[in-house]
A and B are shown apart, each in its own frame.
Chain A
Amino acid sequence: DSGVTQTPKHLITATGQRVTLRCSPRSGDLSVYWYQQSLDQGLQFLIQYYNGEERAKGNILERFSAQQFPDLHSELNLSSLELGDSALYFCASSVARVSYNEQFFGPGTRLTVL
């Protein structure tokens, strides 16, 4: 158990819908990262938040957005869903904003878009 929690574990929805994925980092970690794992794109970095502020962006679509709240939990919002958004979405956390600190991964949320 990494100490990072993600809810829900599974999510099934239809095209065009909007969903919210939730992540709680390990106690004491201020950075949260979101990654997407899909069959065709592999594991890709989406976005990082540190202590409530966006710090880095990767291959995140404009239909996707994220935020980190004062209690440090983070939410990833996916809207206008397409079939290709079906993937496993991981949240990871680490202590620092910019460093070589190890990232601890949550169990992931599996999103299926029908």
Chain B
Amino acid sequence: AQTVTQSQPEMSVQEAETVTLSCTYDTSESDYYLFWYKQPPSRQMILVIRQEAYKQQNATENRFSVNFQKAAKSFSLKISDSQLGDAAMYFCALLEYGNKLVFGAGTILRVKS
């Protein structure tokens, strides 16, 4: 069965600094998608970034980028120039061909001013 592991329950970063959130996963499929979702205090699930497993190039979205290591089954999220609005719970998620998203346990990110 597919699993997603986020080993950092909580992380802190100083405003304007860079932080990296870790995620590892397990799947027997060769083709799949990976996502990072942000859940602020409003509880809305907001897609931050996505990565297609067949693409070697790491995805980037403005201040957000990923380090996708397919062989190691690792998918970390880097947030540059951290802002107060980045404070939230971040979930790593795996989507295999088909249906369900499998989520990690989440990492709470705190941003200090």
Contact = CB atoms under 8 A, between A and B. Distances in A.
Given A100-B52, A102-B50, A45 B101 contact: yes
Interface stretch (A20-28, A71-79, A103-111): A103-111
Nearest to A110: B43
Interface in A85-110: 88, 90, 92, 98-100, 102-105, 107-108, 110
Contacts, number: 55
A63 B103 CA distance: 23
Contact of B100 (A2, A58, A100, A105): A58
A43 B97 contact: no
Interface of B is mostly: strand
Nearest to A46: B100
Contact of B103 (A42, A102, A104): A42
Interface of A is mostly: strand
A92 B100 CA distance: 10
Contact of A98 (B33, B98, B104): B98
Interface in B63-113: 91, 95, 97-106
A97 to B, nearest CB: 9
Given A90-B45, A107-B44, A108-B43, A56 B98 contact: yes
A85 B109 CA distance: 27
Contacts of A56: 98-100
B99 A33 contact: yes
Contacts of B37: 105
Interface in B39-66: 42-47, 50, 52
Given A58-B100, A102-B35, 8 more contacts: A43-B101, A45-B101, A92-B45, A98-B97, A100-B33, A102-B50, A103-B95, A103-B101
Identify the 4 closest CB pairs spanning chains A and B, nearest first. Answer: A45-B100, A105-B45, A56-B99, A43-B103
